[in-house]
Structure 1
Amino acid sequence: MEIQCLSRSFEEIKSIWKNMRFWFVIHSQGHVFEARRGCDSYMVDLDVMTCSCRLWDSSGVPHVHAKAAVNFIHQTPDGYIKAYFSKDKFKQCYSTNIKPVNGNSL
């Protein structure tokens, strides 16, 4: 699986996704799905990249429920990880000089 994001981020992402196989996905309509595991159930909308658990909204990384939905439609998660984690955005952020700041004593 080739994902174009920073390697540290990818390690964190893999640890989140390790339990994906335990989630049962039900298609609702369009790119809206329900991910279930036991008594837990979450609504995932891949078009707007949200999940009712709100972890995707706060972290920018699709949580296990969203990853299960992406897997259900046989797609790679590349397009569902926020641009913040991409190598291109990282390079863009540090493409200019970062000016040092004064210490507390000033």
Structure 2
Amino acid sequence: MADYNEGLEKFAELNVDAANDFKLLRPELFCRAFLNPAVKTDAITSNIAETFNGYIIQARTKHLLYMLEDIRAALMQRMVVKRQAMMKATSILCPRIQAKLEAEKAKAAECEVTPSFEILFNVNYNLDQLVVNLESRSCTCKKWDMLGIPCCHAVASIYFLGKEPELFVDKCYYRDTYLLVYAGSIPPIEGERHWPVASMPIDPPPIKIGPGRPRKNQIKDPYENPKKFGSLTEQGLK
């Protein structure tokens, strides 16, 4: 919240009207300062849904049965590939999570730790003083609470006790948990040539095709830069 309020003050210094309009957009619905820490993510976009949408974009143009078959085959293979890739990992954490933790370890060297109790610490970092609670796994910066990955302040406190930060990462990021998620499999099925013949017609209802070429790509903002994904142009903006 301190970062949010500080950023809002800087925003108001640039343009008061824009800052007031921003508040009317209900920032508690999309700003990280208001996210529920129980979710263990800091994502504020729908990128994960768009990624899967792009994953099946070719299958979506096909007939219903063939679309489902393409999706089934792609997911069947994906389950095996993901499981095999994770089985090669040697750490107790998933590789990407381990990389994020290593980045926090590097910043932890700049933290100054003052113990208050075996589980409570004051940490000074970049002229800021924060409180770390190892029992509740929380920090004033809320990064540990939100992600489940110890922040640099928590890592410094953990090192002060002579323990390993990997043991304080949320269980959802463990390699064993990942393998349990992908432990199942999608069974293979025979092709259409081997299907039993039905005695009753089971054709789908007729499809009414609208005029024009079917849309495949995402509908973009009118001012979005077509050459740079996710960036807006200044043309026509006030």
TM-score interval, normalised by the smaller of the two chains: 0.7 to 0.9
**Matches of 1:16 and 1:33, distance apart in 2:** 17
Q: Report the identity percentage.
A: 21
Does residue 76 of the first structure (1) align with residue 160 of the second (2)?
Answer: no
Please state if 1:48 is matched with 2:136. Answer: yes
**Would you identify which runs of 4 or more consecutive aligned residues in structure 1 move more than 6 Å?**
none
Structure richer in helix, relative to its length: 2
**Judging changes above 3 Å, is the alpha-carbon distance between structure 1 residues 22 and 14 closer, same or farther for their aligned structure 2 residues?**
same
Q: What RMSD, in angstroms, separates the aligned Cα atoms of the two structures? A: 1.8
Residue 85 (structure 1) aligns with: 173
2:101 alignment partner, SS class:
helix
**2:146: which partner in 1?**
58
Distance 1:64 1:98, change over 3 A: farther
Aligned to 2:211: none
Counterparts of 1:98 and 1:34, CA distance in 2: 50
Name the aligned partner's letter for residue 176 of structure 2. D
Which runs of 5 or more structure 1 residues have no equivalent in the other structure?
100-106
* Count of aligned pairs between the two proteins: 98
Larger RCO, structure (CA 8 Å, separation 6 or more): 1
More strand by share: 1
- The answer to whether the 8 A contact 2:91-2:175 is kept is no
What 5-or-longer segments of structure 2 have no aligned partner?
Answer: 1-89, 188-238
How far is the alpha carbon of 1:60 from its aligned partner?
Answer: 0.7
Does the 8 A contact of 1:3 with 1:78 survive in 2?
no
The CA distance in 2 between the partners of 1:57 and 1:98, in whole Å, is 35
